[in-house]
Chains A and B, each alone.
Chain A
Amino acid sequence: MINAIEIKKLNKSFLRNLPQGLRCFNLLYNFLINRQTLNVTKVSVLVDLNLSIGVGKIIGFNGANGSGKSTLLRIIAGIYTFDCGSVVVNGKTLYLSGYSVLVNKDLTILENFLYIPLIYGVSEESIRETSLSILDEVGLTEHLDRKTFTLSEGQKARLGFAISFFIIQNRNPDILILDEVFAGGGDVEFKQYSVNKIRQIIKGKTVLMVSHDENLLLRECDMFYQMKSGNLTPMNPCNK
């Protein structure tokens, strides 16, 4: 049986003291007068990582900041490249990191909802048909014409969730990558609501989920991995 994701001997390093934030004249001066060239070093983030994920599995990742969780997911999503190894992804992926990343603070709630899914290739007709019912479900219909920058963090999280949920529903990915999407604002009730809604929509899909909430991973995942210094330790079994 073909796995949804097959990773073998994956290595990824990032450049440190990268030529970022350089100034043209400093560069020229250092090169021409001091005869200094750029001294760039590499820091390994993922080392010989192997991972196989079966179709329809829900896999969690947990670990300290900088342990390489997001890097791994971004490589799978095709956002980052890798140095060596192989990554085979069988199916259409959708990467979501936080709910409010795409929310434009200068637009109203309705405008945000109408235009962000368009960027993701969702048809305008489909957006107009379902926008109000989804916004009603998250309790935002009374504020449709409010600019997003006037909203509370909780309301922004609700809007972001509504948009993300709608995009997932319409793009219908085979592999859904959720990078700390449940970490944003919102009360306990809303968090539970969003987890329940996501649970409905991911049936039959392969899901990779990063969260610092170990209980959430234990509850929702078929298996979860603890990530430390670019290495994966399986934490099995989950109490599903």
Chain B
Amino acid sequence: MITKIGLSFHNYRGITNSAIVLAKKSFLLRNEGSLLGIFWYLLNPLVIFLVLLHIKQYVIVEVPNYPMYLFIGLVIFNFIKKCTVLIANSFVGNASFIKNTDLNNFILPLHRLFETIFSHFFEILIFIFMMIYYHINILNIFLYLFFLIFISLFAFSIGLILAIIRIFVVDLLDIWGIVMQILWFLTPIFYIATNSSSINLFNPFYYFIEASRIIIFGEGNILIVIFATVISLISALGSGLIYCKIKHHIAEFV
């Protein structure tokens, strides 16, 4: 291995700071000159939310505070989906950056995660308005913010694995799009999960969406929150091992 004697810039703080700078810039650039600005981030979940709320008239869904239940499901699903897709492109889409700078390539997926978290804060504001409207304990939002670390860790890990495979397989995102479409229907976002649904046992999205609902509503099976936390830690460990194995070769392959 290469031996370097002397100071190293690539410390963790440096990586995080650089990723935050990139994320802020991407976030501002994306909204610059747009009439809707930051509302773009809310437009997608809000439109689908209104459509599904309208459909609810024709089906029987016995859930208290259904609009809130639905909105949490939509937002968490979208958060993980957006995060994984953005991160999946972070190596291939920045080949020139990786090859021509000696900056740590971990900045690239990390800044995409931060960018997604920035936009998620606008959705959290709507969570808060809804919690006030439905008289739900507002302090639960702090527990949710803590749990967001684990949701982010899971989304980041899946995105990182996809980003590594994406270096070699060009149509990976097409396949991932199909997987997400299937998961959209398999995950209880706009309907209720029943205990007999065995599919949910193997669907990590289910745990994160359900755990977020449990935390925000302040009631439900705490085991689901624990499962979600364990899934996120396992996925972080797995993706970390894969990344460490390949990180020094990424510049050669992209």
Chain B's closest residue to A93 (CB) is: B102
Chain B's closest residue to A111 (CB) is: B25
Q: Report if A88-B3 is in contact (Cβ < 8 Å); known contacts: A20-B167, A115-B25, A119-B103.
A: yes
Q: Which residues of A contact B31 (CB under 8 A)?
A: none
* Interface status of B219 (Cβ within 8 A of chain A): no
Q: Which residues of A contact B103 (CB under 8 A)?
A: 119-120
How many whole Å from B11's CB to the nearest CB in chain A? Answer: 9
Contact B251 A86 (CB under 8 A): no
Contact A121 B17 (CB under 8 A): yes
Q: Which residues of A contact B97 (CB under 8 A)?
A: 101-102
Contact A27 B169 (CB under 8 A): yes
CA distance A18 to B169 in the complex (A): 11
* Interface status of A171 (Cβ within 8 A of chain B): yes
Contact B29 A106 (CB under 8 A): yes
Binds B, one of A71-79, A209-217, A220-228: A71-79
Contact B25 A101 (CB under 8 A): no
Contact B251 A22 (CB under 8 A): no
CA distance A191 to B50 in the complex (A): 60
CA distance A75 to B6 in the complex (A): 17
Q: Which residues of B contact A87 (CB under 8 A)?
A: 2-3
* Interface status of A17 (Cβ within 8 A of chain B): no
* Interface status of A89 (Cβ within 8 A of chain B): yes
CA distance A32 to B58 in the complex (A): 46
- With an 8 Å Cβ cutoff, the count of chain B residues facing the other chain is 36
8 A Cβ contacts from A50-109 to B: 74-75, 77-82, 86-98, 101-102, 104, 106-107
Contact A79 B102 (CB under 8 A): yes
Chain A's closest residue to B167 (CB) is: A20
Q: Report if A24-B5 is in contact (Cβ < 8 Å); known contacts: A102-B101, A115-B25.
A: no
CA distance A107 to B22 in the complex (A): 12
Contact A118 B18 (CB under 8 A): yes
Contact A75 B253 (CB under 8 A): no
CA distance A11 to B7 in the complex (A): 26
Q: Which residues of A contact B253 (CB under 8 A)?
A: 18, 20
8 A Cβ contacts from B1-59 to A: 2-9, 14, 17-18, 21-22, 25, 29
Q: Report if A23-B169 is in contact (Cβ < 8 Å); known contacts: A91-B5, A119-B21, A120-B103.
A: yes
Binds A, one of B64-72, B145-153, B170-178: B170-178
* Interface status of B249 (Cβ within 8 A of chain A): yes
Q: Which residues of A contact B4 (CB under 8 A)?
A: 78, 89, 91, 93
Contact A101 B101 (CB under 8 A): yes
Chain A's closest residue to B249 (CB) is: A81
Q: Report if A24-B101 is in contact (Cβ < 8 Å); known contacts: A89-B5, A115-B25.
A: no
* Interface status of B227 (Cβ within 8 A of chain A): no
By size class, the interface of chain A is 35 or more
Contact B168 A22 (CB under 8 A): yes
Q: Which residues of A contact B3 (CB under 8 A)?
A: 86-89
Contact A20 B175 (CB under 8 A): no
| B170 partner, pick from A18, A21, A80, A95, beta carbons under 8 A | A21
CA distance A233 to B116 in the complex (A): 51
How many whole Å from B245's CB to the nearest CB in chain A? Answer: 12
* Interface status of A19 (Cβ within 8 A of chain B): yes
Q: Which residues of A contact B101 (CB under 8 A)?
A: 79, 95-97, 101-102
* Interface status of A14 (Cβ within 8 A of chain B): yes
Q: Which residues of B contact A120 (CB under 8 A)?
A: 9, 18, 103
Q: Which residues of A contact B171 (CB under 8 A)?
A: 23-25
Q: Which residues of B contact A86 (CB under 8 A)?
A: 3
CA distance A210 to B103 in the complex (A): 20
Chain A's closest residue to B14 (CB) is: A121
CA distance A93 to B172 in the complex (A): 36
Q: Which residues of B contact A94 (CB under 8 A)?
A: 102
**B226-251 toward A: CB 8 Å interface, digit per residue (1/0)?**
00000000000000000000001101
Q: Which residues of B contact A92 (CB under 8 A)?
A: 6-9
How many whole Å from A22's CB to the nearest CB in chain B? Answer: 5
Report B's interface with A, CB cutoff 8 A: 2-9, 14, 17-18, 21-22, 25, 29, 96-103, 107, 167-172, 175, 248-249, 251-253
